[in-house]
């Protein structure tokens, strides 16, 4: 499936966070424009991800691909929670808490569901623990921590908006890749669920930032967060592509 702007605008699932209605239509159009920019960005529509949707990986390629992802996503809910210390706005706090509650509020945290998915692919916990990830993977993990935790909040929310909107696309790409590889719904359940969850998370960021991007200064900081995140993401996927496809990378 293609992840479009409309998916974020028209949420029908009652368990998924909707956008707040904005009186200021100019702000809404501005944020829609930024969302569209993120959805189309090379880091989100990366050649490796487009390749993976339609082409099977070897077992070795698959292992590297998911182990790098594991180290990219690791500790993300902690970083998002840290963002709360850069604001005293309860509306922002609410969006952050709703976001993180999805990640850790269920019987099993999402990080554990992802680990189980990796285990289902035949990658053991020992292999996960002993894996040495790429410097570009460490860079996006540590970069996200900084982007979420160093003030101002507008920049934090720019990074979150980029991250969560991208994640909606990524859930769809991973689901397609795994399905193409022949994995059943049980293995894909983490991503099937996240198609909707990540739309809600992007809407969390949308709701939190809306009052702060009425003026050019707020927009500048917000965009700085978006762009820094997407730069880290592009370097991350280029790095993974180089070890997964090698010579063919970048095609
Ligand atoms: Fe999640
Ligand atoms: Fe998310």
- Please state, for a pLDDT cut of 70, what percent of the chain lies above it: 99
Q: How far is the CA of 132 from the centre of ligand 1 (A)?
A: 23
- Domain assignment of residue 166, yes or no: yes
Q: How far is the CA of 87 from the centre of ligand 2 (A)?
A: 20
CA 19 – CA 167 distance, rounded (Å): 17
Q: How far is the CA of 169 from the centre of ligand 2 (A)?
A: 11
State mean pLDDT over 14-42: 97
- Are 69 and 134 in contact by the 8 Å Cβ rule? The answer is no
- Domain assignment of residue 154, yes or no: yes
- Domain assignment of residue 73, yes or no: yes
- Domain assignment of residue 172, yes or no: yes
The pLDDT mean for the chain works out to 96
CA 133 – CA 236 distance, rounded (Å): 11
State mean pLDDT over 124-136: 98
The DSSP symbol for 107 reads S
Ligand minimally distant from the alpha carbon of residue 110 = 1
Q: How far is the CA of 190 from the centre of ligand 1 (A)?
A: 8
With 0-12 CB in 10 A as exposed, 13-18 as middle and 19+ as buried, what is 147? Answer: buried
- Listed in sequence order, the residues at least 6 apart from 230 whose beta carbon sits closer than 8 Å to its beta carbon are 38, 41, 43, 44, 162, 166
- Domain assignment of residue 4, yes or no: no
The CATH number for 241's domain is: 1.20.910.10
Q: Is the pLDDT of residue 106 over 70?
A: yes
Q: Residue 149 CB: number of other CB atoms within 10 A?
A: 18
Q: How far is the CA of 84 from the centre of ligand 1 (A)?
A: 19
Confidence of residue 248 (pLDDT cuts 50, 70, 90): confident
CA 141 – CA 134 distance, rounded (Å): 11
Give the model confidence (pLDDT) of 46-86 as tens digits.
Answer: 999 999 999 999 999 999 999 999 999 999 999 999 999 99
Q: How far is the CA of 102 from the centre of ligand 2 (A)?
A: 8
Confidence of residue 247 (pLDDT cuts 50, 70, 90): confident
pLDDT of residue 250: 60
Domain span at residue 212? 23-248
Q: Is the pLDDT of residue 124 over 60?
A: yes
Q: Is the pLDDT of residue 251 over 90?
A: no
Q: Is the pLDDT of residue 42 over 90?
A: yes
- Domain assignment of residue 226, yes or no: yes
Q: Is the pLDDT of residue 93 over 60?
A: yes
How many domains is the chain partitioned into structurally?
Answer: 1
- Domain assignment of residue 15, yes or no: no
Give the model confidence (pLDDT) of 143-167 as tens digits.
Answer: 999 999 999 999 999 999 999 999 9
Q: Is the pLDDT of residue 234 over 70?
A: yes
Q: How far is the CA of 110 from the centre of ligand 1 (A)?
A: 5
Q: How far is the CA of 247 from the centre of ligand 1 (A)?
A: 33
Q: How far is the CA of 202 from the centre of ligand 2 (A)?
A: 7
- Please state, for a pLDDT cut of 90, what percent of the chain lies above it: 96
State mean pLDDT over 15-32: 97
CA 119 – CA 125 distance, rounded (Å): 7
Q: Is the pLDDT of residue 88 over 90?
A: yes
Q: How far is the CA of 64 from the centre of ligand 2 (A)?
A: 22
Nearest to 174 by CA among 37, 38, 48: 48
CA 151 – CA 91 distance, rounded (Å): 17
State mean pLDDT over 176-200: 94
State mean pLDDT over 123-150: 98
- Domain assignment of residue 14, yes or no: no
Residues with CB under 5 A from ligand 1 (ion): 110
Q: How far is the CA of 23 from the centre of ligand 1 (A)?
A: 30
Ligand minimally distant from the alpha carbon of residue 167 = 2
Dihedral sign from CA coordinates of 229, 235, 238, 243: negative
Instruction: Give the chain's length.
Output: 251
With 0-12 CB in 10 A as exposed, 13-18 as middle and 19+ as buried, what is 82? Answer: middle
State mean pLDDT over 24-40: 98
Ligand minimally distant from the alpha carbon of residue 191 = 1
- Are 104 and 199 in contact by the 8 Å Cβ rule? The answer is no
Ligand minimally distant from the alpha carbon of residue 105 = 1
CA 131 – CA 67 distance, rounded (Å): 7
State mean pLDDT over 193-210: 96
Confidence of residue 1 (pLDDT cuts 50, 70, 90): confident
Q: How far is the CA of 248 from the centre of ligand 2 (A)?
A: 30
**Residue 216: HSE in the Cβ half-sphere, 13 Å Cα cutoff:** 0
């Amino acid at each position: 499936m293609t992840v479009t702007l409309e998916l974020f605008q028209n949420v029908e699932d009652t368990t998924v966070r909707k956008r707040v209605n904005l009186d200021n239509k100019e702000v809404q159009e501005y944020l829609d424009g930024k969302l569209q920019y993120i959805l189309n960005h090379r880091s989100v529509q990366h050649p490796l991800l487009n390749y993976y949707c339609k082409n099977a990986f070897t077992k070795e390629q698959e292992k590297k691909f998911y182990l790098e992802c594991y180290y990219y996503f690791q500790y993300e809910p902690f970083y998002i929670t840290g963002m709360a210390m850069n604001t005293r706005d309860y509306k922002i706090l609410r969006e952050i808490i709703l976001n993180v509650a999805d990640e850790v509020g269920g019987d099993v945290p999402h990080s554990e569901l992802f680990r189980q998915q990796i285990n289902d692919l035949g990658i053991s916990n020992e292999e996960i623990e002993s894996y040495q990830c790429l410097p570009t993977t460490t860079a996006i993990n540590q970069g996200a921590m900084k982007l979420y935790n160093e003030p101002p909040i507008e920049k934090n929310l720019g990074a979150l908006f980029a991250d969560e909107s991208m994640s909606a696309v990524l859930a769809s790409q991973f689901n397609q890749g795994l399905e193409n590889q022949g994995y059943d719904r049980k293995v894909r359940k983490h991503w099937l669920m996240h198609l909707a969850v990540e739309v809600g998370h992007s809407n969390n960021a949308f709701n939190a930032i809306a009052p702060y991007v009425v003026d050019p200064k707020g927009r500048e900081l917000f965009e700085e967060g978006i762009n820094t995140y997407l730069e880290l993401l592009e370097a991350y996927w280029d790095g993974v592509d180089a070890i997964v496809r090698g010579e063919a990378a970048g095609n």
